[in-house]
Amino acid sequence: MPVPDELADPLVRAFVEAVNAGDREAFFALLAEGATMADDGSDRNLQEWVDREIFSSDGRMEVDSQSDDGRSLVVSYTNSTYGTMLTNWKFFVEGGKIGRFETGQA
């Protein structure tokens, strides 16, 4: 199981570290202007989703595996709302920032 400092993509590594630290400012600094996201195949309002699913519910990512040069992860994701669930995360990078991420149940 890779720990964050073993993740191949530095942006994805910083994303996981920001989530696990509860560091909202660092998290948003990684995203491109106009970044988007999807949860279980449906586009969501990124700001509302992140606040609800990560920062106000103490979200944590424990990476189980990585592929696609570190831009696709299987994660045991835990928050105070849903407990722990196995999730997939895929990251799309543009201009040195994360332009989109997609997550959902694995």
Query: Whole-model pTM above 0.85?
Result: yes
CATH code where residue 42 lies: 3.10.450.50
Q: How far is CA 3 from CA 57, 61, 64, in A?
A: 22, 10, 9
Indicate left, alpha or beta for 9 from its phi (over 0: left) and psi (-120 to 50: alpha).
beta
Residues contacting residue 1 through CB under 8 Å, at least 6 positions apart: 62, 63, 64, 65
Number of domains in the chain: 1
Per-residue pLDDT tens over the stretch 46-101: 999 999 999 999 999 999 999 999 999 999 999 999 999 999 999 999 999 999 99
9 close to 69: Cβ distance less than 8 angstroms = yes
Domain residue limits at 43 = 4-105
